[in-house]
Amino acid sequence: MKKTKILSILFWVISIILTFAISYYQKLTGPTYPVAVSHLISNSEVKAVFPRSHPGDGPETIKVYAGNPALIGEMKYKRFKSYDDWRVIEMQRRGDSLFAEIPHQPPAGKVEYQVFLRDENHTTVPLTENPLIIRFRADVPALWMILHIIFIFGAFMLSFRTGFEAVFKWDNAFKLTIFTVIFLFLGGLVFGPIIQKYSFDAFWTGWPFGTDLTDNKTLFALIFWLIALWRTWKDRANRKWIIIAALVMLIIFLIPHSMFGSEIDYTKIEQ
C-alpha cells in the first residue's frame, strides 16, 4: 500500500512536469513565437527579437539594436494574403536602436515583414532569411485567459495521470477519466471558444467551419476521452480506451499551438 501511494505521488509529479514541458514546446514551436536574431555587421553587433503576434490596439513597433550609428535600417511589409505591393520604409534611429512600425490590422489580420540593414559601404543585409508573418488579435480579459489556462493545463495533467492509473490497473481510473473529460471540455470547448471570440471575433474556426488545428485537435482529443469514459463506465476493468485516449492526447498536443489558425484573406474581401 505504501509503495502504491509513493508511486501515485510520483506519477502526479511526472504528469505535472510533462504538462509544463509540452506546453513550453507548443509555445516554442508555434507560428506566433518571437524570432530572435543576432548578426555582426561592420564589426558591430546587431540584435533583435521580431514579434509574430500583436495583442490589442495600435501599431506593432519593431526594434533593432544597432549600436553603430552608420548602420541604416529599412523595413518592407505588406498585408499577408493580399494583392498589396511591398512597402519599404526607413527605420528611425533613437540612440543605439532602430525603430519602425507595422500598421494595426483588424483581428486575425496578418502582415508579412522583413528588416534590412545597410552599412557605410552600401552593403545590405537581411536580418531574417525570409519575411516573417505577424498576426494581430484583440485583447482578452485576464479572467477568461486564466480560466482557459487552468482547465486546459489541468486536462493535460489529468490525461497523463489517468493514463498511468490505467496502465497500472489502479482503482481510480474511471474517476480520473471523468475529471479529464470535464477539464478538457471546459478548457477546450467552453473557455477556448470564448478566448477565440475575444481574440478573433469567432467562437470556433475548426471543423466544419475552418482549419484551425488547435480547435480540431481539442475536439479530436475530447472524442477519444468520451469513448474512454463510455467504455469504462460499461466495464470498469476495461482500461484499454483510457490508455488510447491518453496516447492520442499526447500525440496531437505535440502539434504546435495556433497552426492554421484564424486569418483574414484580403484577396477575398474589398481592398
Report the C-alpha gap between 126 and 130 in whole angstroms.
Answer: 8
Interval 66-79: pLDDT, tens? 999 999 999 999 99
| Least confident window among 6-15, 124-133, 215-224, 259-268 | 259-268
CATH number of 35-137: 2.60.40.10
Residues 203-228, mean pLDDT to the nearest whole number: 85
Reduce the secondary structure of the chain to three states and give it as a string: CHHHHHHHHHHHHHHHHHHHHHHHHHHHHCCCCCEEEEEEECCEEEEEEECCEEECCCCEEEEEEECCCCCEEEEEEEECCCCCCCEEEECEEECCEEEEEECCCCCCCEEEEEEEEECCCCCEEECCCCCEEEEEECCCCHHHHHHHHHHHHHHHHHHHHHHHHHHCCCCCHHHHHHHHHHHHHHHHHHHHHHHHHHHHCCCCCCCCCCCCHHHHHHHHHHHHHHHHHHHHHHCCCCCHHHHHHHHHHHHHCCCCCCCCCCCCCHHHCCC
Domain boundaries, the chain: 2-30+140-268, 35-137
Look up cell 482549419; give the residue: 211
Mean pLDDT for the stretch of residues 7-25: 93
**Predicted confidence (pLDDT) at residue 266 exceeds the cutoff of 70:** yes
pLDDT band at 216 (very low <50, low <70, confident <90, very high): confident
Q: What is the pLDDT of residue 95?
A: 94
Q: Give the rounded percent of residues in the chain with a pLDDT score beyond 70.
A: 96
What's the mean pLDDT in 134-150? 95
Give the model confidence (pLDDT) of 79-99 as tens digits: 999 999 999 999 999 999 999
pLDDT at position 204 is 83
Residue 210, pLDDT above cutoff 80: no
